[in-house]
Structure 1
Amino acid sequence: MLFVGARDRERYYRVRYVPVIPETGKEFGLSAAEQREYEAGLKVGVNMMAGYGAIVVVRPAHVRYHTQIDEDAGNVVITNKGNSTVMLDAFAQCKAQLKECHNHKVHYLRPGISISHPKEVGKSFQFTLVEGERKKRLAFGQM
């Protein structure tokens, strides 16, 4: 992968690995005998093939983190105003005093994205804000 240009913003690339059945002359390096043996195996049984993929995140040359958290009587709004993705790790809903936490999730906030979470009576929520190497544990609601 090669990108020529300004690295002023975060970029995302999807990489996919898709299996293919070997064919002669298609640069698989199979001899004619190996090709016949492979084809005979296909006629006799079932071939299981699985593909997979990944998202590659390329951070900007000069990363700037700026996560803004606004809290009012009914909601907590978390906004990523920086230029690189931040992670809200172990985001969990809890009973008051941060006991009996459940539904642990991970949220990724890309630049410019906000997430809003309602405050509920008798409940609180907590998460770890991860900005690059820096981690900060935060909690909101009735404690």
Structure 2
Amino acid sequence: MFGFLDDGKSAVLKRIYNSGTSTAFVKVVVQEITYDASGQPVEQPPKALSAAPLAQQNTLLASPARMIIPANGMQSTRLLFMGSRAQERYYRVRFIPVLPSSADSFDQSADDQQAYKNTLAAQVTLLTGFGTLLFVRPDKVVFDTRLKDEKDTYSVHNAGNSVIALDFVKTCHVEITTQCSTIAQHYVLPGRTYTFTKEPDKVHSFVLQEGRAERTISFSTT
């Protein structure tokens, strides 16, 4: 799952649904993703708030970071970015079901914690978490996508300062238009290039998304 915090906005709301038959205790874990010299993603440890003012924290906060969601219920958490947005930032946000404990700050008494554990022990229970990748766009977004059509390849270079998306990516036979590949989606970070390899008798197509602007692009072997 992917989400965006657009320029001009400081927070985004995420709704978490509990489709199970038991109350869910959910912990929200936020980790910034940076990229090393070879371009590989590195997830940083969760960052604790410092004594600096909130506007100088340069981090993404989840409020609340602990949720108690009843069976078949829903609760929302706000993902709020505090700090400089001179450049784009990336965060992995995980929503993790846990067994309540005093260390997790769910404000449950020891008796309530034990009662919940006993309830789970009496049934077959699967605690399943999920996550989302949040793109925090810079304050002044510039989209500058450069397309290069060559004999054997077609490249999409992101020369702007914010991520772009290649959506509904597919390859179809020139004559048998119903014979197509599985639809895919790719994200191209600033400074990166995504390259397609052309195939004989095939038409490649995708929808280029630059923020809310979209355009459909198709190409084939020349």
Q: TM-score, normalised by structure 2?
A: 0.56
Q: Which residue of 1 aligns with 2:213?
A: 134
State the secondary structure of the residue aligned to 1:22.
coil
Identity of aligned residues (%): 32
Per-residue deviation, 1:45: 3.8
Name segments (4+ residues, structure 1) moved above 6 Å.
none
Query: Quick one: which of 201, 210, 218 aligns to 1:122?
Result: 201
**1:122: how far off?**
1.1
Counterpart residue number, 1:9: 87
1:106 corresponds in structure 2 to 185
CA RMSD of aligned residues (A): 2.4
Structure 1, residues 55-78: CA drift from partner, whole Å, max 9, x if none?
A: 111101010001111111111111
> Which stretch has the larger CA shift, 31-40 or 113-122?
31-40
The 1:125–1:28 alpha-carbon spacing in structure 2 relative to 1, beyond 3 Å, is same
Map 1:1-143 onto structure 2 (within 5 A).
1=61, 2-5=81-84, 7-23=85-101, 27-31=105-109, 33-96=111-174, 99-100=177-178, 101-142=180-221
Residue 46 (structure 1) shift:
4.0
Question: Could you list the per-position Cα deviations for residues 37-64 of structure 1 after superposition, in whole angstroms to 9, with x for gaps in the alignment?
Answer: 3343355444422222221111010100
Conserved 8 A contact 1:97-1:142: no
In structure 2, what is the Cα distance between the partners aligned to 1:20 and 1:27? 12
**Is the radius of gyration larger for structure 1 or structure 2?**
1
Contact in 2 for aligned 1:17/1:53 (Cα 8 Å): yes
Q: Identify if the C-alpha distance between structure 1 residues 37 and 124 changes in structure 2 by more than 3 Å, giving closer, same or farther.
A: same
Mark the runs of 5 or more structure 2 residues left unpaired by the alignment: 1-60, 62-80
Partners of 1:90 and 1:109 in 2: how far apart? 14
Equivalenced residue count is 142
Q: Residue 128 of structure 1: CA displacement?
A: 0.8
Cα distance 1:127–1:98, how it changes in 2: closer, same or farther (>3 A)? farther
Letter of the structure 2 residue corresponding to residue 109 of structure 1: V
Contact 1:98–1:124 (8 Å) recurs in 2: no
* Letter in structure 2 aligned against 1:123: K
Q: Which amino acid aligns with 2:161?
A: N
Answer yes or no: is the 8 Å Cα contact 2:152–2:221 preserved in 1. Answer: no
CA distance in 2, matches of 1:107, 1:9: 21
**In 1, Cα distance between the equivalents of 2:200 and 2:103?**
68
Unaligned runs of 5+ in 1: none
The change in CA–CA distance for 1:51 and 1:34 in structure 2 (over 3 A counts) is: same
TM-score normalised by the chain length of structure 1: 0.84
Contact in 2 for aligned 1:65/1:131 (Cα 8 Å): yes
